[in-house]
Amino acid sequence: MFADGANLDSIERLARDPLFDGITTNPSLMRSAGVTDYLNFCRRSVLFSRSKSISFEVFSDSLEEMKAQALELSQLSSNVYVKVPITNSTGTSTLPVIKYLLARGIPVNITAVMSMSQIDLLFSSIPLDSNAYISVFAGRIADTGRDPCEYIKYAIDKFASHPSVEVLWASTREVFNIYEATRVGCHIITIPPSLVSRLKYQQYSLDSFSLDTVRMFKADSDEAGYTIPISVDIQRILKGV
């Protein structure tokens, strides 16, 4: 499991957790976390990563500038995977960037992959000795009503002959996704901090979970001071008048 987020305290804590093998982030998460200096945040994150795999994303629409950004990020540490979206924001394929980096031995995390045609395109372009993650955005695929497991399994089968290419279940929405990813043999799944606290519920009694939920509702209504005034008519009905 990889931790997904953009909070330095969280990255430091989760990097110390033996449950997690790596860290991923992206510009949207970093913006939400209030990051203003992109490269400085990446440098500090590397220090906190404890040499675990950590992925930082390029974001230019220019393929040449993407290459330059990727080279800068790759020089931060040997445990950095450069995240390259499958296309830029205009829909132009980033395969030239991906091939350029892989040819230089730079590990890449190919992100925002969501279709079988994209998986096919990567398969036809990535050499056998490539060091890469294929980040399939399973949660977003599920948002469309499609079964993401089919796409994850398709990618796993495609790259079975690539010893250092791993399929990553991205955009995780719920803890159950961990069990789905395990069932289809996915190599990696990213877990946002919001889900980490829920991992403790594995095999938790559903009756106990039900009671915990009712107690939460009661505590919140008490703390809010909610009341439902009972009208005279209702009081008469209750008294059988």
The single-letter code of the amino acid at 123 is F
The pLDDT, as a whole number, for residue 199 is 87
Name the nearest CA neighbour of 132 among 157, 109, 103, 158: 109
The pLDDT, as a whole number, for residue 10 is 83
Return the CATH superfamily for domain 2-201. Answer: Aldolase class I (3.20.20.70)
Contact 134, 159 (CB under 8 A): yes
CA end-to-end span of the chain, whole Å?
Answer: 63
Q: Please state, in angstroms and rounded to a whole number, the distance separating the CA atoms of residues 171 and 136.
A: 8
Q: Please state, in angstroms and rounded to a whole number, the distance separating the CA atoms of residues 239 and 128.
A: 80
Q: What is the pLDDT along the chain (241 residues), one digit of tens a residue?
A: 999 888 888 888 888 999 999 999 999 989 988 999 999 999 999 999 999 999 999 999 999 999 999 999 999 999 999 999 999 999 999 999 999 999 999 999 999 999 999 999 999 999 999 999 999 999 999 999 999 999 999 999 999 999 999 999 999 999 999 999 999 999 999 998 788 888 889 889 999 999 999 999 999 999 999 999 999 999 999 998 7
The pLDDT, as a whole number, for residue 14 is 85
The pLDDT, as a whole number, for residue 95 is 98
The pLDDT, as a whole number, for residue 65 is 98
Q: Please state, in angstroms and rounded to a whole number, the distance separating the CA atoms of residues 208 and 22.
A: 33
Q: Please state, in angstroms and rounded to a whole number, the distance separating the CA atoms of residues 41 and 27.
A: 11
Segments making up each domain of the chain, as ranges: 2-201, 209-238
- Indicate the pairing of strand 53-57 with strand 108-113: unpaired
The pLDDT, as a whole number, for residue 200 is 87
Q: Characterise 157 by phi-psi region: left (phi > 0), alpha (psi -120 to 50), beta (else).
A: alpha
The pLDDT, as a whole number, for residue 7 is 84
